[in-house]
Structure 1
Amino acid sequence: MTGFVRRLLRIAARPMRQDRGRGGYVVHPYRGYGSRHEAFLMGRVFRQAALGEVIPRYGMLRDLADIVRRIFRHGLPEVTVEVTLGENVTTVTTDRDGYFDVHMPLEHPLPRDSAWHHAELHVVLPDIEPVQSFTEVYIPPAEADLLVISDIDDTVMYTGVANKLRMLNRLFVKQAHQRMAFPGVAALYQALHVGSSGKAKRPILYVSRGPWSIYEMLEEFFQLNRIPVGPILFLREWGISWRKPWPRRAEDHKYDLIQHMLAMRDELPCVLIGDSGQHDPEVYARIVHEYPERIRAVYIRRVERRPERERAIDALREEIRHTGCDLVLAEDSLAMAEHAFTQGLIAEEGLERVRQASHP
């Protein structure tokens, strides 16, 4: 039990280590995304307390102190954030919790020889030195011919969302290298990323049920498992407060995000990937009904075998059959890859790599 507590403290304190206990004002942006015409990113401006000299640099006491500092971060409202992306500049104002959303029309084109672009953020506060930070914004190249939108929980990484305690343990306690990626996931997403030509560089966007606080851990997990990192990990801002003690429904959040992505890249067809455990099939079928000519395939990883759940998914498959979009309830990554290959979405080489990774 002591080892469990120590690991929990260490993981929860990790995002605080970068300031080395100095505290102060921070502007923390998340990775952005966009098109050739507009860019989006979000972040937060906050103040966090400094650690005194009596707190050791390592150990449980330091982890506990960092967790307390994290809990009591003070978001700064009504702060102006200046964002520069190439020659494009805009300003936004933080909300009452210190969060900001940037929607930047790209009046000055960005270089076309790169998909990732450097954005600088600048905050000026009274009587202190300016606070600066930077992030990366992903703009799909012209050769991208498909948009891939994927769930994370129980689709890419096993979390056991049906078992809430197990899910919390995997999300917040397990280190990134200890979390289990489904066999063949990395190869499948790599194949989808490069397409049948091997050069497509398709955007892959991820949606999670978790809060922004696990952002860094998920990025580390993706990199360790060589899963293509999307332009942003779309995590739900839970927005829990005394006035609103419950987070927004995940299915509403996911539906809105997918609609936004489809509207932003209205020339691209799309593939949706999720799992059978929660609301993915229902949300994705709704999207297919509204965009019948845009959705090339829906892949649902089977994570449970309740007869009533499978009957419900079968009914959804029949509902959208007239659109020409296949809803595939797949046993594993290989089943998804085999269907994707028959549809011309991935190359034969990519299919073979998924086969090898799924059954080493």
Structure 2
Amino acid sequence: MPFTSQRTSSSLLEEHTRKNGKFSDAESSLASISTNQARASRKEHKLTHLLSCLGSSNPLPAPIAADDVVWLMDNVAFWDRGGHWEAEFVAAVFDQQASAKVVDIVGDIASKVGLARGGDEERTMERRISPFVMEILQGRQIKVRFNGPTLLKLGPGGRNGISSDIRRVPEPSTGPVAKSTADVPSGVTGVLEMKTVYAEPEGWAVISDIDDTIKITQTSDPVRILRSTFVSKPTPVPGMPELYSSINRLLAPSALFFYLSASPYNLYPFLRGFRDTYYPHGQLILRDSNWMTISGLLSSLTLGTEKYKIDRIKKIQRWLPRRKVICIGDSTQSDPEAYGEACRAFPQWIKLVLIRKVTDVAAVGIREKNEPERFERAFDGVPR
């Protein structure tokens, strides 16, 4: 069954959420102090900037320099049609020198969330905001040592500094997890190590949302999003770490986790640390949008989330069509609609859907998110 393209009920819920939460007002006020990451970096050569529009087809990629920041994202290896192992490698490159506007941004967010200047909370904000105000570096190619001797070349990245490449990888030789390290000049910082989990074609997999499913984010309120993202200690939803641990044990040894979030890739290190602290290891799939700003964080979490998640679910299904899948989400965003559409498209693939009914959404005046009629519409045609 093909995916539908007409305007969905989830888009109407997004409109209500944004209107009642005054998201547009918050984004407008933040946009004035956000860095414009769409422009060429101060380190970019004009030709590099021009060729970056070609993405991986760029014939003249730029090398990684000692004052760059490199992020390597954990991933999953799967069988291609010929029975060979391959994986999608996602990486990002930034300039270590953050924008001079970081002080203004910290001050502005502090005032919005009701914090006084100075103290530990402000230092936490500076650290977490940094990935949003570093200049993206376009057209970079990254060399990676995969599980030791194998050298992979990733990229070059596109206009948003992110590269995404399908690369064939060797047969597993040291167990189901391979570790890779960026082969970069001394001085480069960032997330320079990654894990690749070899996923056999059959078994179980879990596709899980993050915000308000396993992590308290309060996505219906822009101020609470800013506080939970930049100020507060990342807090798991009560009971969810225990649930995921139980699922992991129950499905072992074939358990495989994908954490599919509408959050932008700027939050990768932050969410990676949260995952490693509270939940089973799994691939983080985040949004590689052009909203590389603080105001863009709010847009990423509240605009077009159903279409984005359906697209990524289709990709996972292409990787692992013989797996049995459990989808877990919540009622604050478009998880019911996205998972319902996926169930109709792949009725033999998805075996169970769990939706956490978030009870505080009524506080922002959007009671229909938890009404039974919503779930009936979202899962219309899906066997109970």
Cα RMSD, aligned residues only: 3.4
Return the alpha-carbon distance in structure 1 between the equivalents of residues 125 and 326 of structure 2.
43
| Corresponding position of 1:284 | 339
**What's 2:57 paired with?**
none
Distance 1:205-1:297 versus aligned 2 partners, 3 A rule: same
TM-score (norm 1): 0.67
- Aligned to 2:258, which of 184, 205, 212? 205
Residue among 200, 220, 238 paired with 2:273: 220
Contact 2:181 2:192 in 1 (8 A): yes
CA drift of 1:239 comes to 1.2
The 3-state SS of whatever aligns with 1:266 is: coil
Please state whether the residue corresponding to 2:323 is helix, strand or coil. Answer: coil
Residue type matched to 2:195 in 1?
A: V
Q: Match for 2:156: what amino acid?
A: T
Name the CA shift for 1:67/1:38 in 2 (closer, same or farther; >3 Å): closer
The 1:184/1:131 distance shift into structure 2, 3 A limit, reads: closer
Label 1:65 to 1:307 Cα distance change in 2 as closer, same or farther (>3 A).
closer
Structure 1: gaps spanning 5 or more residues = 1-22, 52-57, 327-360
TM-score, length-normalised on structure 2?
0.63
**SS of residue in 2 equivalent to 1:228:** coil
Aligned: 1:110 with 2:196:
no
Pick closer, same or farther for the CA change 1:94–1:292 going to 2, 3 Å: same
Residue matched to 2:304: 249
Alignment map for 1:103-252 (pairs within 5 Å)? 103-106=166-169, 108-111=170-173, 113-123=174-184, 134-142=192-200, 145-176=203-234, 179=235, 181-195=236-250, 199-225=252-278, 227-230=279-282, 232-240=283-291, 247=300, 249-252=304-307
Instruction: Give the one of 163, 180, 202 matched to 1:100.
Output: 163
SS of the residue aligned with 2:243? helix
Residues 24 and 50, structure 1, Cα contact 8 Å, conserved in 2 = no
* Distance in 2 between residues matched to 1:30 and 1:116, nearest whole Å: 14
Report if the CA contact (8 A) 2:70-2:94 is conserved. yes
1:105 Cα deviation from its structure 2 partner: 1.4
Summarize the Cα distance change of 1:316–1:31 in structure 2 as closer, same or farther, 3 Å threshold.
Answer: same
Shift of 1:64: 8.7
Contact 2:337-2:379 at 8 Å conserved across structures? no
Q: Which has the higher contact order (CA 8 A, sep 6+)?
A: 2
Report the number of matched residues: 280
Tell me how far apart the structure 1 counterparts of residues 208 and 375 of structure 2 sit (CA, whole Å).
18
What's the CA shift for 1:82? 2.1
Displacement, 1:27? 2.0
Partner of 2:9: none
Q: Secondary structure at the match of 2:355?
A: strand
Superimposed CA distance per residue, residues 212-268 of structure 1 (whole angstroms, 9 cap, x where no aligned partner):
23323323333443x2131x22221231279x9765622222111111111101110
